[in-house]
Amino acid sequence: MSGLEPFGARLRRAMDERGPLCVGIDPHASLLAEWGLDDDVTGLERFSRTVVEAVADRVAVLKPQSAFFERFGSRGVAVLETTVREARQAGALVVMDAKRGDIGSTMAAYAEAFLRKDAPLFSDALTVSPYLGYGSLSPAVALARESGTGLFVLALTSNPEGGEVQHAVRQDGRSVGATMLGHLAVENAGQEPLGSFGAVVGATLGDLSSYDLDVNGPILAPGIGAQGAKAADLPAVFGAAVRNVVPNVSRGVLRHGPDAVALRDAADRFAEEIRAAVGAV
Ligand SMILES: O=C(O)c1cc(=O)[nH]c(=O)n1[C@@H]1O[C@H](COP(=O)(O)O)[C@@H](O)[C@H]1O
């Protein structure tokens, strides 16, 4: 299988051209209601298409959250397929937020569902959970290398409950979260201009200077907007790694719908705040 150019290189270029903002497509039932849509497949389709049409031509990354589509069964998944295809056609990279993680042989099937070139849900990258052991992800790492796609590995998540696992300290004195970052640094070693194996690190976590965030890969940073973090926090949280940060905003943008211009303006405002905080792109 001949793959695409590596995800890390494609992402770096998109971030340089468009700025690093990732807009999440999270069709919460409450947002469907706010937009005057029914909580059904028609509402889901309308919501997702509106977001894609409003912002896919201007942001580097769109991140559909699979759960909100799976909620509607196979017809919801069909909408997800269309959403991914149309977002990619409009020039955005798509990170599928499905947070998959399983024993290695099953992980291979999850990877095929999202990262194999001819899969109906083929995406540029996939969020994955390493908490069955980082090594369990190796089939996904292998397929991502082959197909020019990427992974975002949950390292230090934005939710307060994550600490009981991720801050736990191992026998070697390193925390579990730091260990995941270490694995990613090895995965991305020597990759130019940026590796394809990213970390998920919440923008909500405050000072992370005790962690080595220099993984030579992208850092997906959710938490801006609805979870309370601000674009202006990014340099203090991420330090020198901030230039590889892909900040995600979902509800903070989506609550401005259903008007496409208002959605676009909201995305532009976050993009501008990020640019001001992080420096020129
Ligand atoms: O992997 C993620 O995207 C993710 C990781 C994490 O640590 N925290 C987190 O909020 N997310 C996702 O990022 C999005 C955040 O949405 P908002 O809080 O509405 O901006 C949701 O889709 C979450 O599932």
Residue-wise pLDDT for 146-193, tens only, equals 999 999 999 999 999 999 999 999 999 999 999 999 999 999 999 999
Annotation marks residue 230 as catalytic: no
Find, among 93, 87, 17, 19, the residue nearest to 53 by Cα.
87
- Separation of CA 158 and ligand 1 centre (Å): 7
Please state, in angstroms and rounded to a whole number, the distance separating the CA atoms of residues 131 and 115. Answer: 20
- Strand intervals (E) in 8-142: 22-25, 61-64, 93-100, 125-128
For residue 1, being part of any structural domain is answered with no
Count of positions (residues) in the chain: 281
With a CB cutoff of 8 Å and minimum separation 6, the contacts of 256 are: 262, 263, 265, 266
* CATH code of the domain in which 219 resides: 3.20.20.70
Report the amino acid identity of residue 101: G
**Residue 2 pLDDT:** 58
Count other Cβ atoms within 10 Å, centred on residue 133: 11
The model carries a pTM of 0.97
Domain with 140, as residue range(s), is 7-278
Q: Residue 216 — very low, low, confident or very high, per pLDDT cuts 50/70/90?
A: very high
Please state, in angstroms and rounded to a whole number, the distance separating the CA atoms of residues 97 and 157. Answer: 13
For residue 2, being part of any structural domain is answered with no
Please state, in angstroms and rounded to a whole number, the distance separating the CA atoms of residues 228 and 220. Answer: 16
For residue 215, being part of any structural domain is answered with yes
For residue 99, being part of any structural domain is answered with yes
Verify whether ligand 1 is closer than 6 Å to residue 65 (CB atom). yes
Q: Number of structural domains, the chain?
A: 1
Residue-wise pLDDT for 137-158, tens only, equals 999 999 999 999 999 999 999 9
- Separation of CA 172 and ligand 1 centre (Å): 30
| Per-chain mean pLDDT for the chain | 97
Whose CA is closest to atom 17 on ligand 1?
Answer: 250
